[in-house]
Structure 1
Amino acid sequence: MPDIDTRTLSQDIAFDLLSNARRRFVLRRLQEASEPIELGDLAGDLAAAETGVPVDELTAQQRKRTYVSLYQTHIPKMVEAGVIEYDRDAGTVSATERVDELASYFHTPPRMPLWAVAYGGLSLFGIAVYLLVALLNPDFVDPIQIGLLFFVAFSALSLVHYQYVTRGRGTDGLVPFEEGE
């Protein structure tokens, strides 16, 4: 196995790796997999995706053409870049942490104005309700209770925001297989 460079991938290497739909497919599948994938299975899945035919209906020629392309061209290129590992004995392919580095080229940062509006709106509404209760001074509610209610609401919004940012959003952060995905 080659020594993997611990520096980040250059943009030239990253763009070269990502310029091919077959490599993007392999990277995406490996990102989504929890275990190494057999190269034959990967080739079958790719051939099915490219032809629009279910895996069990592929011809031997379709599978072989895709397998040879992966085995001779794409897998060695990605192994050399340190993006994937190929176990020749087991015939399996697995992702390295560098796959996420490549996926970062497709990351779209969350639009902060959405969160700014949510926080600002909740704050303004909370202040308005608090002032209304304080001015009207109703017997059934205390301004402290209103303050605590909006403190809890603000904390809940903060937790939702934190989960949104740390856990990701759908396929954002995954290597797309198709253009525009």
Structure 2
Amino acid sequence: MATTTESQSATEGTTRQDDQSRQGEIFDLLSNRRRRYAIHYCKREGEPVTLGDLAEHVAAWELDKEVEEITAAERKRVYTSLQQTHVPTLERADVIEFDDRTIELTSEATELDVYLDIVPADTIPWSTYYLGLTGVGTIVMAGVWLEAVPTEVIPELGWATLVFALFAVSAVVHDVQTRRMRLGELERPP
């Protein structure tokens, strides 16, 4: 009996370690802007892409230019970097398949969305927003319980409905923004 428990414990420890190792690999993979741009372009296209097309778009995004404005030297620099470093890294991570002509996302690429909670520079993180909303809701509900909030104008159930509605509207806005900010959703990478 002790052997079975030890075996299960060892298996769970190995699985947890493998999950942490994979998570670290994914964060390392996504830590590079050029690889994120490559994934974005492949997702946006939705079909196999050539290394040349990928290099043009990544160079354009990096230099904040239109694809037509990219010089041969700028394209070549990005092409070489993608070919020698980034595409092999993405392939080893099983995110893409590369056959020397085309690049195609694998099913593993869908796993990356979980790690990409992109927060634009001019906004606060959603976790902070919900914490603040919880504070407001707590103050309102405490006011209702302590009869410090006028319940003649808005009944107690009305206050509770208002707090619930704030959370519901926030959740919808959060979901819409999160979907919009995913790699492959917009013309330019977020």
Q: Is the TM value for this pair above 0.5?
A: yes
Q: TM-score, normalised by structure 2?
A: 0.59
Give the whole-Å Cα distance in 2 for the aligned partners of 1:53 and 1:152. Answer: 49
The unaligned stretches of length 5 or more in structure 1 are: 1-6, 134-140, 175-180
Q: TM-score, normalised by structure 1?
A: 0.61
Partner of 1:136: none
Per-residue CA deviation, residues 23-61 of structure 1 (Å, 9 max, x unaligned), is: 233234456x26246233321111123334421022233
1:46 aligns with 2:63: no
Describe how 1:96-175 pairs up with structure 2 within 5 A: 96-103=109-116, 110-111=127-128, 112-124=130-142, 126=144, 127=147, 128-130=149-151, 133=152, 146-163=155-172, 166=175, 169=178
Aligned residues between the structures: 153
The answer to whether the 8 Å contact 2:26/2:112 transfers is no
Give the whole-Å Cα distance in 1 for the aligned partners of 2:45 and 2:57. Answer: 16
Amino acid at match of 2:132: L
Per-residue CA deviation, residues 128-156 of structure 1 (Å, 9 max, x unaligned), is: 212xx3xxxxxxx7xxx723432432331
Q: Determine which structure has the larger helix proportion and give its number.
A: 2
The answer to whether the 8 Å contact 2:52/2:79 transfers is yes
The unaligned stretches of length 5 or more in structure 2 are: 1-17, 120-124, 184-189
Change (3 A) 1:19 1:124: closer
Give the whole-Å Cα distance in 2 for the aligned partners of 1:151 and 1:102. Answer: 34
Give the deviation of 1:87 after TM superposition: 5.2
Larger Rg: 1
